[in-house]
Amino acid sequence: MAGVTLTGISKTYSQAGMPAINDLDLEIRDGQFVTLLGPSGCGKTTTLRLIAGYMAPDAGTIHADDRLISSKDTLVPPEHRGMGMVFQNYAVWPHKTVFENVVFGLRLRKVPSAKARERVEQALALVGLSGYERRLPNEISGGQQQRVALARSIVVEPQILLLDEPLSNLDAKLREHMRTELKQLQRRIGITFIYVTHDQAEALALSDQIAVIHEGRLQQFDSPREIYNRPINRTVADFMGNVNLLSGKVISADGAKGEILIADRLRVIAALPAGIERGAVVDVALRPENIELKRAETNANSSGKIVDHTFLGNISEYHIAVADRLLRVQTHPSVRIAVGDDVDISIAPETVNVFAQTETSR
């Protein structure tokens, strides 16, 4: 069993001025599928490399269960951490068969050959490649090669598997398929997976918990549902899928709830963050799928006007002018409103997220 705890981890590369990772705390429990998610350059790979033991942090500690494995002065080498790693360019050896690729780690560990054969067969069965032992990498598909790389990592029975964008070299369809397979594999073998991606959909689909990282700092560590529905700040809301981020003014406040006026036109009721009072200017995050549209009887008090409509089969997408703002809305395809029509907009208060404005969001 193995969980990983990062406490106050910081790392600055000597060539760079800015820390790649800044005071990161993260508690990854045993058997969880945890994803490190964020835009390119936010520090995901650095975090994974620190966990793997390829380098030491400048400050902070990493524990595997209760064992200190990394600090400024302690660095348990990667091969003694009970961790396996799968990379983006999964690099199976082209001249070795599937069997030889997978058995490699066991030979290094001097596992007797009958036992090694049995474990390779088990690992190949787990990734759905039984019967492919004698094939060469160029005789199997890209997805199957990635599964060979997975089998090679799990055959040595790591307690934790670290995966750095392992699906990004696959085409979209295969990626989606492998996503399901990876999740099932993790459930079957029950070990901790720490997964790096910049793909929000992948993170939502795979993870028990997502750590959203931005500019080296942890923004939020939560379940996919919480991250999507209850982003902790504007940065997380903006990064997680489609969102309308609009500035609005609180026109009434009643305890934790308030009414916010957007573009002098659209009124939204929502829970207010602590300390926000009447008159405050706030950021409001509205998911396109949570906005309801109805054709307005007159344009006198309507909330907006349809300026664009795209039928996408399973959904319809509307762009709505709310005074000088543009709102993106997704509806069921049965909703049919014409471009140029005035609409009334309603939004369930529990789907709205409100953030105090910061210096950078203004």
Binding site for ligand ATP (CB under 6 A): 13, 15-16, 20, 38, 40-46, 198
- Secondary element (H or E) of residue 6: strand 4-11
Cβ proximity to ligand ATP, 40 vs 314, nearer residue: 40
Q: What is the closest distance, in whole angstroms, from the C-beta atom of residue 238 to ligand ATP in the complex?
A: 16
Beta strand 353-356 pairing with 281-286: antiparallel
- Secondary element (H or E) of residue 184: helix 172-189
Q: What is the closest distance, in whole angstroms, from the C-beta atom of residue 58 to ligand ATP in the complex?
A: 13
What separation, in Å, do the N-terminal and C-terminal C-alpha atoms of the chain show?
A: 47
Cβ proximity to ligand ATP, 58 vs 289, nearer residue: 58
Q: How far apart are CA 214 and CA 230, in angstroms?
A: 17
Cβ proximity to ligand ATP, 44 vs 309, nearer residue: 44
Q: What is the closest distance, in whole angstroms, from the C-beta atom of residue 7 to ligand ATP in the complex?
A: 19
Q: What is the closest distance, in whole angstroms, from the C-beta atom of residue 165 to ligand ATP in the complex?
A: 7
Cβ proximity to ligand ATP, 55 vs 256, nearer residue: 55
Cβ neighbourhood burial of 27 (10 Å; 0-12, 13-18, 19+): middle
Q: How far apart are CA 231 and CA 222, in angstroms?
A: 9
Q: Give Cα separations from 123 to 87, 133, 137, 150, 255 (angstroms).
A: 18, 11, 17, 9, 57
Cβ proximity to ligand ATP, 42 vs 156, nearer residue: 42
Torsion sign over Cα 331, 337, 340, 345:
negative
Q: What is the closest distance, in whole angstroms, from the C-beta atom of residue 144 to ligand ATP in the complex?
A: 25
- 179 CB-near residues (< 8 Å, 6+ apart): 167, 202, 205, 206
Cβ proximity to ligand ATP, 44 vs 81, nearer residue: 44
Beta strand 316-322 pairing with 325-331: antiparallel
Q: How far apart are CA 142 and CA 90, in angstroms?
A: 10
Query: Within 10 A of 308 (CB to CB), how many other CB atoms are there?
Result: 12
Q: What is the closest distance, in whole angstroms, from the C-beta atom of residue 29 to ligand ATP in the complex?
A: 23
Q: What is the closest distance, in whole angstroms, from the C-beta atom of residue 157 to ligand ATP in the complex?
A: 27
Q: How far apart are CA 35 and CA 213, in angstroms?
A: 10
Q: What is the closest distance, in whole angstroms, from the C-beta atom of residue 213 to ligand ATP in the complex?
A: 7
Cβ proximity to ligand ATP, 167 vs 343, nearer residue: 167
Cβ proximity to ligand ATP, 45 vs 357, nearer residue: 45
Q: What is the closest distance, in whole angstroms, from the C-beta atom of residue 40 to ligand ATP in the complex?
A: 3
Q: Which among 29, 23, 21, 22 has a CA at the least distance from the CA of 5? A: 29
Cβ proximity to ligand ATP, 159 vs 235, nearer residue: 235
